[in-house]
Structure 1
Amino acid sequence: MIQINKRLTKVSEYLNHNKLADIGSDHAYLPIYAIQNGFINKAIAGEVVKGPFLAAQHNTKIYGMTDIIEVKLGDGLEVIDDTIDVITICGMGGPLIAQIIDEGQHKLSHYPDLVLQANIHALPIRQVLQKIGYQIYDEQLIKDKKHIYEIIVAKKGEMQLDETEMKFGPILLKSKTDLFKEKWQRELESLNKIIKQLENHNDHERYHEINQQILHIKGVLK
């Protein structure tokens, strides 16, 4: 059995589908693990970089899965087809995940489920999901080593998030777990360092912008 890290294990818990497309699959760890555990039956492992593409091919061969995991070299969602009923995009920043979805939205006309795991800045993901007719069904924070990751699960549906829900996550906001508080406390510390540096400059617009962010986070953490 293949071993995968804590954040990908958490992502796999949302898989209960027939065919997965794992975008930016790297070594195809997630599809292999999900098939071994009976979460999916088959998969496409999509990779845009030649090195990880070859690594994914190598691993599917080692685990005897070349017939059920198709490793494809291609940009973003270009590797998927209508047989896919769930897509995972993990281990990237929120803006890049949002860009992949936005640029590939013509491939999502059959509305497969989306399980997205952002390293940083998940706000653009929520913006693009709302724009293209997806609704957030679950959100979760996961701490792996010292880093806190956001997982967003979305299905076909309508939503209208306000500014606070977009930034912090509609479901995460309701629970406000200890991990949620830790994540945003860290963000506050970073912003406070920035604002101290700005005090010595005349960039009043930037100072005001950062200060507003600080007040927003403090208001949510109350």
Structure 2
Amino acid sequence: MISKRLSIVASFVPQGAILLDVGSDHAYLPIELVESGKIERAIAGEVVVGPYQSAVKNVETHGLVDKIQVRLANGLAAFEETDQVSTITIAGMGGRLIATILEEGLDKLSSVNRLILQPNNREDELRVWLQAHGFQIVAESILEEAGKYYEIIVVEAGTMNLSASEVRFGPFLSQEASPVFVEKWQKEAGKLEYALDQIPEKNLAERQILIDKIQAIKEVLHASK
């Protein structure tokens, strides 16, 4: 029922976790995790009425109303300390929005063991935020689905000191340098080189920004060989 992207997100959810899925959409992820026996209980949080109603219907259809609560709420407002949530998933949003959601509920995260985050963009900004707010990356994954590349970042409480390269490319992703990782950044370098060709030679500062980005990609790809 769930996509390859959500399957990988699900793989990082610990056995027996109490889950909050933020922006749960149709509640596919919690339903899959409960039906597979990986978790017993979940909260599906959704801020938009349409998807919320769809999630309610799906949970009812699957006969899981006693195990999955669907709540109409914004971000981490979907749970309270008494829910004993141990794992939070936030998938399919921009990295900046994910950081905002976490920031707005930061005081509620001390009792949560693991965050599994799948930003659609601005992964670097999310990593910077995590580093500044007492989180460490414990695992990462990258996949391609329907022509798009997705990064999954798994974090727990702790400290880290990422280099500029690790912020951009991911500490685990750049170290593992999977074929999907290489493919993504080769394509990105090609786009930047095309953009560079469109900038007049006299625009030195503008060109240098792109040249530096291309060089950084070439360095991380060379290191992966």
Q: Do they fold alike, i.e. is TM over 0.5?
A: yes
> Residues 99, 210 of structure 1: CA spacing in aligned structure 2 closer, same or farther, 3 A cutoff?
farther
Say whether residues 1:216 and 2:216 are aligned partners: yes
2-side partners of 1:142 and 1:38: how far apart? 25
1-side partners of 2:134 and 2:21: how far apart? 21
Query: Per-residue displacement from partner, 1:7-41 (whole Å, max 9, x unpaired)?
Result: 11111111123310000100000000000011111
Taking the TM superposition and a 5 Å limit, the aligned residue runs for 1:182-201 are: 182-199=183-200
> TM-score by structure 1 length?
0.93
Partner amino acid for 2:85?
I
In structure 1, the residue matched to 2:47 is: 48
Partner amino acid for 1:8?
L
Taking the TM superposition and a 5 Å limit, the aligned residue runs for 1:63-78 are: 63-78=62-77
2-side partners of 1:195 and 1:10: how far apart? 35
Contact kept? 1:78, 1:107, Cα under 8 Å: no
Say which SS state the counterpart of residue 150 (structure 1) adopts. Answer: strand
Deviation at 1:80, TM superposition (A): 2.0
> Residues 203, 107 of structure 1: CA spacing in aligned structure 2 closer, same or farther, 3 A cutoff?
farther
> Residues 121, 8 of structure 1: CA spacing in aligned structure 2 closer, same or farther, 3 A cutoff?
same
> Residues 134, 67 of structure 1: CA spacing in aligned structure 2 closer, same or farther, 3 A cutoff?
same
Which deviates further from its counterpart, 23-32 or 207-216? 207-216
Say which SS state the counterpart of residue 117 (structure 2) adopts. Answer: strand
Contact kept? 1:113, 1:153, Cα under 8 Å: yes
In structure 2, the residue matched to 1:8 is: 6
Aligned length: 219
Q: Percent identity?
A: 41
Partner amino acid for 2:221?
L
> Residues 142, 199 of structure 1: CA spacing in aligned structure 2 closer, same or farther, 3 A cutoff?
same
> Residues 141, 100 of structure 1: CA spacing in aligned structure 2 closer, same or farther, 3 A cutoff?
same
In structure 1, the residue matched to 2:141 is: 140
Say which SS state the counterpart of residue 188 (structure 2) adopts. Answer: helix
2-side partners of 1:17 and 1:116: how far apart? 19
1-side partners of 2:77 and 2:57: how far apart? 22
2-side partners of 1:130 and 1:46: how far apart? 25
Partner amino acid for 2:119?
A
2-side partners of 1:203 and 1:48: how far apart? 45
Partner amino acid for 1:218?
K
Structure 1: unaligned runs, 5 residues or longer: none
2-side partners of 1:198 and 1:98: how far apart? 33
> TM-score by structure 2 length?
0.92
- Coordinate RMSD, CA, aligned: 1.5
> Residues 74, 220 of structure 1: CA spacing in aligned structure 2 closer, same or farther, 3 A cutoff?
same
In structure 2, the residue matched to 1:97 is: 98
In structure 2, the residue matched to 1:38 is: 37
Query: Per-residue displacement from partner, 1:31-85 (whole Å, max 9, x unpaired)?
Result: 0000001111111111111111111111111111112111111111111223100
In structure 1, the residue matched to 2:159 is: 158
2-side partners of 1:123 and 1:174: how far apart? 16
In structure 2, the residue matched to 1:205 is: 205
Partner amino acid for 1:211?
I
Deviation at 1:218, TM superposition (A): 1.1
Contact kept? 2:140, 2:172, Cα under 8 Å: yes
Contact kept? 1:101, 1:128, Cα under 8 Å: no
Taking the TM superposition and a 5 Å limit, the aligned residue runs for 1:96-135 are: 96-135=97-136
1-side partners of 2:10 and 2:216: how far apart? 33
Partner amino acid for 2:199?
L
Contact kept? 2:88, 2:112, Cα under 8 Å: no
Query: Per-residue displacement from partner, 1:121-140 (whole Å, max 9, x unpaired)?
Result: 31112111111111111101
Query: Per-residue displacement from partner, 1:172-211 (whole Å, max 9, x unpaired)?
Result: 11111111110111111221222222227x6543332222
2-side partners of 1:93 and 1:141: how far apart? 16
